[in-house]
A and B are shown apart, each in its own frame.
Chain A
Amino acid sequence: NAGVTQTPKFQVLKTGQSMTLQCAQDMNHNSMYWYRQDPGMGLRLIYYSASEGTTDKGEVPNGYNVSRLNKREFSLRLESAAPSQTSVYFCASSQGGLGNQPQHFGDGTRLSIL
């Protein structure tokens, strides 16, 4: 049982380049999330999708876009990468209720913007 799978695991970009981070879950969860983790900052919510067909901004959405492709997949896109977006990105999913259910995390994408 894979749980939450993120690809790629590592990526280096140049400033201004674009890329899409992929996330898929096989637990039939309704809700999915994208977080970034920076040293000393904990996890900060970028975007979330409470259910298939809906997406909403989190705490730090600027510079990002998301797509809930279907119930399983939730992608995060950086249109024009900036050094401030260097971070570790985590995708998570839960059965529902953004803050009322345990969340299941992938192992992260380590992204460096030069």
Chain B
Amino acid sequence: SQQGEEDPQALSIQEGENATMNCSYKTSINNLQWYRQNSGRGLVHLILIRSNEREKHSGRLRVTLDTSKKSSSLLITASRAADTASYFCATGVNTGTASKLTFGTGTRLQVTL
């Protein structure tokens, strides 16, 4: 079963606009990670936010985490055509002796000129 679910499933914006993607999850987490996947390529790690953090920035990316609502958002500011990709959230959950990373089904972002 999916732990994280992204919303929307698809998003189309124009270059220069901001893009916001949301992720909701079901159980308590240790951390939440965002990944980008370009067509035909593997996933690339963007940012990791721990459960005791509320906001994190990396360049044009801003991630928020609300553990009370079990949700996270990824904001890409001043989007570029090169940001066109699928974006996945992944939740890290500690399970006794190990921890587990579970991926959502992704948001497909299309940035047009």
Residues of chain A touching chain B, judged by Cβ–Cβ distance below 8 Å, are 4, 35, 40-45, 50, 56, 90, 92, 97-108
Q: Is B73 an interface residue (CB 8 A)?
A: no
Q: A99 to B101, Cβ gap below 8 A?
A: yes
A42 to B1 alpha-carbon distance, docked (Å): 10
Q: Would you call B105 and A40 a contact (CB within 8 A)? A: yes
The answer to the question of B25 belonging to the interface, with a C-beta cut-off of 8 Å to chain A, is no
Tell me how far the C-beta of A96 lies from the nearest C-beta in chain B, rounded to whole angstroms: 10
Instruction: List 7 A-B pairs, Cβ < 8 Å.
Output: A42-B88, A42-B106, A90-B42, A99-B31, A100-B92, A102-B48, A107-B41
- With most chain B CB atoms within 10 A of its CB, the pick from A35, A56, A100 is A100
- Report chain B residues within 8 Å CB of A40: 105
Q: Which of B56-113 contact A (CB under 8 A)?
A: 88, 91-94, 98-106
Which of B's residues lie within 8 Å of A, judged by CB? 2, 30-31, 33, 40-45, 48, 88, 91-94, 98-106
Say yes or no: B92 contacts A99, CB within 8 Å.
yes
Contact A103 B104, beta carbon cutoff 8 Å = no
9 interchain residue pairs of minimum CB distance: A99-B92, A105-B42, A99-B99, A102-B45, A99-B101, A43-B103, A42-B105, A42-B103, A105-B43
Residues of the B chain whose Cβ atoms lie less than 8 Å from the Cβ of A100: 30-31, 92, 94, 99
Report the bound CA distance from A92 to B88 in whole Å: 15
Closest residue on chain B to residue A90 by CB atoms:
B42
Contacts of A106 in B (CB 8 A): 42
Q: CA–CA, A107 to B37, complex, Å?
A: 10
Q: Are B42 and A108 in contact (CB under 8 A)?
A: yes
Question: Could you list 15 further interchain pairs (A-B, Cβ under 8 angstroms) beyond the known A42-B88, A99-B100, A105-B44?
Answer: A4-B42, A42-B2, A42-B105, A43-B88, A45-B101, A45-B102, A92-B43, A98-B92, A98-B99, A99-B91, A99-B101, A103-B45, A105-B43, A108-B40, A108-B41
* CB-based nearest B residue for A58: B100
